[in-house]
Amino acid sequence: MINTHMKHIKTTFLLFLAVMAVSCRGNITPVSSDKELLSFSIEKENNSWLKISVAAEIEGHTIKLALPEAKSNESLVATFTHNGAGVFVGGVEQESGVTANNFSKPLEYTVMAQDESTQSYTVQVSLVSVEKANLPHIYIAIENGEPMETRDKKRELNAVVRVEGKKKYASYEGACTIRGRGNSTWGMPKQPYRIKLKEAASLMGLPAYKDWVLLNEYLDGSMLYNSIPFKAGQLLGIPYTNTMVPVELTINGEYRGVYAFTEHKEVGEGRIDVGDGGLLLELDVYYDEDWKFWSAYSYLPVMIQYPKSKNMTEQLLQAIRGDFNNLDRLVQASSFPNNEYLDYFDDLSFVNYMIVYELTKNGEINHPKSTYINKPAGGKYRMGIIWDFDWGYGFEEEYMHYILVRANEPLFWGPDKEGLGTRFFGRLMSDPHMQQLFKERWEWFKAEKMDLLKDYVIEYAQAVAPALADDHAIWGPRSASSNPQTNLQRILDWLDARAAYIDSAY
C-alpha cells in the first residue's frame, strides 16, 4: 500500500507535471502509465565490502539477488534503472546508487507511473559464497521426495537432475533415475550414488552417456585422495582412465557436501572401448556378480563385467575361464618368468598401473578388490581401469590417510598377510624384466610428469577448499584439518615421501 507520505509526494509531483505539460499552443502531453523496473544491481563502488558487483535477475515482478554470505546485508545501496516517475521503498523515494536499505529483511520496490499507477517488485535474496563460483553444483529432486537412505541400494528412484556448471561447464537439466552404489561405502553416513539419465548427455564436458557416478569422498575429510591416481593414470596414458570432477551435491533440497563426479564403469566408445568381442574383468573378493569363476592356479575371484550378463552363456563363461587360466597357469608355473606369459599379458600396461598403485599405496590390489583387467578383441590382457582409492595412502593399516611412516612401506603384503592378489601381482613384479621396465617408466614419470601431477593436486585442492567448511559441518572433519592449506600440504608431503620410497625400492 502507498502510505500518506508517498501520496503527498505523488500529488505534488503530478501537479508539477501537469503545469509543465502545457505547451505554447495550449496542448497537454498525455500522462504515461509506464512503470517498469529495467535493471537492478549492487555495485562494488557503492558498497565497499563487495569484491565484485552483483547483478540481479528480474523475473516477472521478482528481483532475484544472490549476495555473498558472511557479510552484513543491513545497509546496501542498490543501482537501478526504470520506466516511470519514481521508485519507492516503504514510501521513501529511492535514488539509484545513493539510497541504502536493509536487505536482510523482506523488501519491496514500488515503481510509480506518471498516471499514479504503481507496480511492486519483491526482492528475493539468496546467500552464496563467491569463492564457490567455480565448483559445479548438482541438484537431484527425487520423485515424491523419497530419501535414498531408506531404500535398497539397487532400487532405482525416478528423479530430475539439474547441473549448475558455474561457467566452467555447461549447465543441464533432465529426467534420470538414482540408486545407491558401492560395497562398504554404501554403509557409510555419506553415501555414493549412481545416476542414469533418461537421454544420453555430456556432463562436465565428458562424452555423452546415460550413466554417471557420484563418489562420496567420506573416508578422509580433505576429499583430495582421488585427485592423485586418476590424474596420474591420465599422465601415464592408461587407457579408459576416469576423470574426477569435484562437485557439490544437493538431494531433495538437502545439501550433501562435496562429491567426486565421474563416469560409470561401462564398456563403450568414449569409455572402456575394448570393442566387440573384448573383455572387462573385475577381480574382487566380494564375488557378487552373476557371472564369475575362481581362477585355477592363483584362485583369483574373477567377475565378468563385459560382456554384459544379458549376453552371457555358460559356454561363453567356460571359454573366458579357459583363456584366463592359460595366463594364470603361466604366471604360477615353475618356469616363470622364462616362459611365454608375456604373449598373453601386456607388460607396459602393468608397470603403468603399478606406478599409480605404488604412488598411492593402494592395498586393494592385495585382496584383490576393485582390480580390473581388460582385453581388447584379439589382444593381450591389460591392467585397467584404475578404480577405488578410498583405502589407499596407508589407510588400511591405520584407518587414517597420509601417515608418512606408512609411505615407507611396501605395497604388497608380506607372507604373514598374503592375499590372493598379492600372490598373483607380487609374482608378476618379481620378474626382472618387469622391475627394469618399472624403473625406467618411473624415472620418466618423475622427471616429466610429477610436477604436472602436483600442479593438478593443488588446483583440485583450491577448487574443494571453499566448500570444506560446509561439508565438515554435516559429516565432520574425518581426520582432516579445517585449514585447506594443511590438507594440501599433507598430501604433497605424502607424494614426496612415497616417491623417495619408490626410488629406494626399485
Helix, strand and coil in the chain, % to nearest 5: 35, 25, 40
Is residue 25 a contact partner of residue 14, using CB atoms and an 8 Å limit? no
At the second CATH level, the architecture of 4-128 is Sandwich (2.60)
Q: Are 502 and 495 in contact (CB under 8 A)?
A: no
Least confident of 28-42, 289-303, 350-364: 28-42
Residue 51 binned pLDDT confidence (cut-offs 50, 70, 90) = low
Q: Where are the beta strands (DSSP E) in 203-315?
A: 209-215, 245-251, 254-263, 279-283, 292-294, 301-306
For 202-234, write each residue's pLDDT tens digit.
Answer: 999 999 999 999 999 999 999 999 999 999 999
pLDDT in tens, 71-98: 567 789 999 999 999 999 999 999 999 9
13 pLDDT more than 90: no
pLDDT greater at residue 159 or residue 12: 159
- pLDDT for 22 equals 43
pLDDT of 100 over the 50 cut: yes
**Residue 191 contacts residue 180 (beta carbons within 8 Å):** yes
pLDDT band (50, 70, 90) for residue 127: confident
Q: What is the dihedral sign for C-alpha 256, 258, 262, 264?
A: negative
Q: What is the pLDDT of residue 129?
A: 53
Cell numbers standing for residue 441: 617408466
What's the CATH number for 279-505?
Answer: 1.10.1070
pLDDT score for 208: 97
Least confident of 54-68, 355-369, 397-411: 54-68
Q: Which residues contact 332 (CB under 8 A, 6 or more apart)?
A: 297, 298, 424, 427
Does 368 sit behind a cis peptide bond, omega within 30 degrees of 0 on the bond before it?
yes
Confidence (pTM): 0.74
70 pLDDT higher than 60:
no
Strand order from edge to edge, sheet including 292-294: 292-294, 301-306, 279-283, 371-375, 382-383
Q: What local confidence, expressed as pLDDT, does residue 325 receive?
A: 98
Mean pLDDT of all residues belonging to the chain = 90
* Position 148 confidence tier, pLDDT thresholds 50, 70, 90: confident
Region of poorest pLDDT, from 1-5, 175-179, 253-257: 1-5
Mean pLDDT of 292-301: 98
Predicted pLDDT of residue 4: 47
- On the question of pLDDT at 5 being above 60, the answer is no
Sorted by where each begins, the domain ranges of the chain are 4-128, 133-263, 279-505
Question: In angstroms, how far is CA 126 from the centroid of its own chain?
Answer: 23
| Mean of pLDDT values over 252-275 | 95
The least confident of 3-12, 267-276, 380-389, 479-488 is 3-12
Question: What pLDDT does 44 receive?
Answer: 79
